[in-house]
Amino acid sequence: MTKLDDKISESNLKLPPWLVGEIRSDHAGETGAIWIYRGVLATTRDAEVRDFAERHIQTEMKHLELLEGWLAESERSSLLPMWKVAGFITGALPALFGATSTYATVEAVEAFVVRHYGAQITILAELKEHAQLCDILVQCCEDEVAHGFEAHSLKRNNLNMLLRAWCHMIDIGSGLAVNVARRI
């Protein structure tokens, strides 16, 4: 175990249950994010979309690794297999319909994630506790902002009604998933 691991484990011991729930939801979300891109890569042959997904998946894996240091295996969501399937479908389905639907999906997911991380960062900053954890969330959030901007700028067409409805569903579904992952 490295010194950094020791430090992270120590901090983990001090996390109150509500914060463990919050980080569990982040960990579930980052797992889902990796699987969104796996879904995209499983269904698209568009070179630009593949490059986008391959780059983003690397960042999401880094996020997951950062969060894993804060959660014992027993504290992670017991529904991880479900989050993986949900992520895969969330990536694979729009990728079947083309680049714009894929980018719009990622933009919708990231908009939600940025709000989610932002709320957690605000609370931790106000508490002035768990500064190390707060820094990690800030780092993840900054990457998600960049992902969202990139997805927004790469869209090739305007969103039709169906795609707008899909993005709205993603927002609602992500909120439900966070509430479940906080508990289970």
**How many binding residues for Fe ion (CB under 5 A)?**
6
Q: Nearer to Fe ion by C-beta: 22 or 60?
A: 60
Per the CB < 8 A criterion, the answer to whether 153 and 96 are in contact is no
Give the Cα separation of 45 and 33 in Å (integer).
20
User: In angstroms, what is the minimal distance from the CB of 114 to Fe ion?
Assistant: 9
- Contact set for Fe ion, span 78-107 (CB under 5 A): none
Give the Cα separation of 165 and 154 in Å (integer).
20
Q: Nearer to Fe ion by C-beta: 60 or 107?
A: 60
- Contact set for Fe ion, span 45-74 (CB under 5 A): 60, 63
Figure out which of the listed residues 22, 26, 107, 144 binds Fe ion, where binding follows CB under 5 A.
144
Q: Check residue 38 for interaction with Fe ion (CB under 5 A).
A: no
User: In angstroms, what is the minimal distance from the CB of 56 to Fe ion?
Assistant: 6
Kindly write down the DSSP assignment for every residue of the chain, as one continuous string: --HHHHHHHHHHHT--HHHHHHHHHHHHHHHHHHHHHHHHHHH---HHHHHHHHHHHHHHHHHHHHHHTTS-GGGS-TTHHHHHHHHHHHHHHHHHT-HHHHHHHHHHHHHHHHHHHHHHHHHHHHHT--HHHHHHHHHHHHHHHHHHHHHHHH--S---HHHHHHHHHHHHHHHHHHHHHHH-
Figure out which of the listed residues 19, 92, 147, 178 binds Fe ion, where binding follows CB under 5 A.
147
Q: Nearer to Fe ion by C-beta: 107 or 144?
A: 144
Q: Nearer to Fe ion by C-beta: 115 or 129?
A: 115
User: In angstroms, what is the minimal distance from the CB of 19 to Fe ion?
Assistant: 18
Contact range with Fe ion by CB under 5 A, out of 2-10, 12-20, 93-101, 144-152: 144-152
Contact range with Fe ion by CB under 5 A, out of 67-75, 79-87, 125-133, 138-146: 138-146
Binding residues for Fe ion, rule: CB under 5 A, are 30, 33, 60, 63, 144, 147
